[in-house]
Amino acid sequence: MTDSSKLLYRTVLPAGAHWSLRLRRGTALRLTDIRGGANVGMLFYNPENLLERYNAPDTMKCQHTFRLTTGHCLYSDMGRIFCGIEQDSFGWHDTVCGTMNAQLTEQRFGASDYQQARNDRHQNGYDSFLVELTKYGLGKRDLAACLNVFSRVSADEQGNLRLESPALPGASVTLRFAMDTLVVLHTCPHPLSQAGAYPRSPVEIALPADLAPLPEACLTREENRRGQANNALYYLGTIAPAGTIAPAGTMLGDSHAAPAQECHHD
């Protein structure tokens, strides 16, 4: 669990819950699987243009990766970086299995009605996403493949999928935001969960107090340096958190930065 003296905010979500918040660029979001075995389904949108959203295929292919961990960025469909994975004690998060709907949840974990189960009802990820999305004028058409934090899904040579062992108690992931981002998440079970009963793993959500640009670990890939250049163009002329936008000279000429982008290309 996180040292609360260095936090702007902390809350604990029980399993089967949903949450959303507009995260400002430079801030971080830390998720902790308190007891182990949690899953956090996440989607990201640009609050200034809700048509720009998390794109799992671009995220995977831009970084030639199927697993997501420290050093990987989560991309929008517009070639920009919502956030980078700054810290990850778990090591492998899924982004191809999506989320379970009500029917699948009932098939897997049995029926549960609200009158009897109250807040222990078997809430599903699909409805959870819809509830949060509707608050922002979004709906079914805006759903996309989500990130499933704390769920390691491997594929063999034939493409068969397997959900590996669940996270240990205390596993944590920190996302550092490089754009203002609408974060929508739920703590419902992963669709490949083999748990006998509906998993009851609470997740801590913490907003650390420090502000920082994109994690250094993400900028070892030239693709992510180009993604960062796309972000810099998006925020051109605005006041940014320190270090979020490289000064023009370093962005254009520094060996650690992306190549020059001429104005007439846009």
Spatial separation of the C-alpha atoms in residues 33 and 229, rounded to whole Å? 33
Nearer to another protein, 1 or 161 (CB): 161
Name which of 118 and 265 has its Cβ closer to another protein: 265
User: Which of 140, 126, 137, 170 shows the shortest CA–CA distance to 38?
Assistant: 170
Sign of CA dihedral 220, 225, 226, 230: positive
Which is nearer to another protein, 145 or 179 (by Cβ)? 145
Q: How far apart are CA 42 and CA 60, in angstroms?
A: 16
> Which neighbouring-strand residues pair with 44?
183
Of residues 13 and 97, the one with the C-beta less far from another protein: 97
Q: How far is the CB of 101 from another protein (least distance, A)?
A: 6
Phi, psi of 122 (to 5 degrees): -85, 75
- CB count within 10 Å of CB 266 equals 6
List Cβ neighbours of 93 (8 Å cut-off, separation of 6 or more). Answer: 67, 68, 69, 147, 148, 149, 150, 151, 152, 173
Give the nearer residue to another protein in terms of CB position, either 110 or 259.
259
Nearest distance, CB of residue 206 and another protein, angstroms: 27
The residue ranges that bind another protein (CB under 8 A) are: 51, 55-58, 60-62, 64-67, 75, 77-80, 92, 96-99, 101, 103-104, 139-146, 154-161, 191-192, 223-224, 226-227, 229-230, 258-262, 265-266
- Listed in sequence order, the DSSP H helices in 75-150 are 102-109, 114-117, 125-134
Minimum Å gap between C-beta 3 and another protein is: 31
Least separation in angstroms between residue 41's CB and another protein is: 10
In the complex, the smallest distance separating the C-beta of residue 105 from another protein, rounded to whole angstroms, is 11
Least separation in angstroms between residue 223's CB and another protein is 5
Q: Which is nearer to another protein, 187 or 230 (CB)?
A: 230
